[in-house]
Every structure is written in C-alpha cells, then in structure tokens.
Amino acid sequence: MPRLSAWAVRLSLLYLLLGFTVGAIMLANKGIPFAPWIWRLLPAHIDFLLFGFVIQLAIGIAHWILPRYQGGSRGKETLVWGAISLLNLGIWTVSCISLFNLPGQWLVVGRLLEGTAAVLFASQAWGRIRPS
Ligand code: HEM
C-alpha cells in the first residue's frame, strides 16, 4: 500500500472514531438532555462520517487499487495529496461554522474545498479507470 493510501485510511479511521463519539454524545443528550449546545455538533458528526470516513477511505483505497499506468506509476501523487488536504480543510471549515457561530458564507468555502478535492482526485484517477 502506498504511503498516501496508508495515511488516508488511518485518517478515515480516526474520523470514524470521532464521528461515532460525537454521535454517541448527541444520542445521550437526546435521552437525558444535559447541554443544549451539543446539537451544534451535528454538522461535524455528518461531515466527519460522510466525508472524513467514507470519502477519505474511498480515495485512499482507490489510489492504491486502481490499475496503474504502464511502468507501474499511480499518476501524479501530489494531486491526490492536494485532494486529501483540501478535503480535510473543508471538513473542519464546515464543522467549525456551528461550533463557533461563524457566518454562513463559510459553508460555501467549506463545500468548495470539498468539491475541489473531489475534482482533483477524479481528474487524477480518471486515466486509471479501465478494464485490466
Ligand atoms: C457511518 C455512520 C453514520 C453516518 C453516515 C451518520 C450520519 C448522520 C446524519 C446524516 C444525520 C442527520 C440526520 C438528519 O438530520 O435527519 C445524523 C444524525 C444523528 N446521528 Fe448519525 N451517522 C452515523 C452514525 C451514528 C452513530 C454510530 C450514532 C450514535 C452512536 C449516531 C447518532 C446520531 C444522532 C443522535 C443524530 C441526530 C438525530 C436527530 O436529529 O434527532 N450516528 N447522523
């Protein structure tokens, strides 16, 4: 497994842990309300699990497993590092909005970062999607 994939998979597992923990805290707060502000964690819960865990795991595994170019290259790895960085920046931007009462425009910034990450990864992976 390439180093990039190992980091992406490790990060995705950390997000799984984080997302489940936040979900469990919200669930407990639903049963026995102890802190109304806990609901501000909901966007983080969703982004941690959908983007941090699911999408990041998919990127890490896809980069490792897709057919390689002739000569064994996996393409421009810097693009995938860029995608992983932008994805994580986007996740934390979106998660911080409700936590720190940031203006709603930050949601556009966060989603743009996540969207750009998807485009970067797709552009890099496209050429490797072919029957073996
Ligand atoms: C991969 C796993 C998971 C994903 C993708 C996920 C995703 C989501 C999403 C999208 C929502 C928003 C639903 C809505 O607003 O209608 C949500 C809400 C919630 N999730 Fe999760 N979740 C996951 C696992 C968990 C786990 C393991 C727990 C608890 C231990 C949990 C606890 C909650 C709670 C308490 C809510 C708020 C429900 C409400 O609005 O009353 N989630 N989750």
pLDDT in tens, the chain (132 residues): 999 999 999 999 999 999 999 999 999 999 999 999 999 999 999 999 999 999 999 999 999 999 999 999 999 999 999 999 999 999 999 999 999 999 999 999 999 999 999 999 999 999 999 987
Give the whole-number percent of the chain exceeding pLDDT 90: 97
Which segments of the chain are extended strands (E)? none
Which of 115, 70, 72, 68 has the alpha carbon at shortest distance from 91? 115
Q: Quick one: which atom of ligand 1 is closest to the CA of 53?
A: 1
CA count, 13 A, side-chain hemisphere, 52? 25
Q: Is this model's pTM higher than 0.85 or not?
A: yes
Q: Residue 30 CA: which ligand 1 atom is closest? A: 35
Centre a 10 Å sphere on the Cβ of residue 129 and count the other Cβ atoms it contains. 10
Protein residue closest via CA to atom 8 of ligand 1? 46
Ligand 1 neighbourhood includes 10 CB (under 6 angstroms): no
- Alpha carbon distances (Å) from 2 to 14, 88, 121: 19, 19, 16
pLDDT of residue 132: 72
Q: Are 114 and 90 in contact (CB under 8 A)?
A: yes
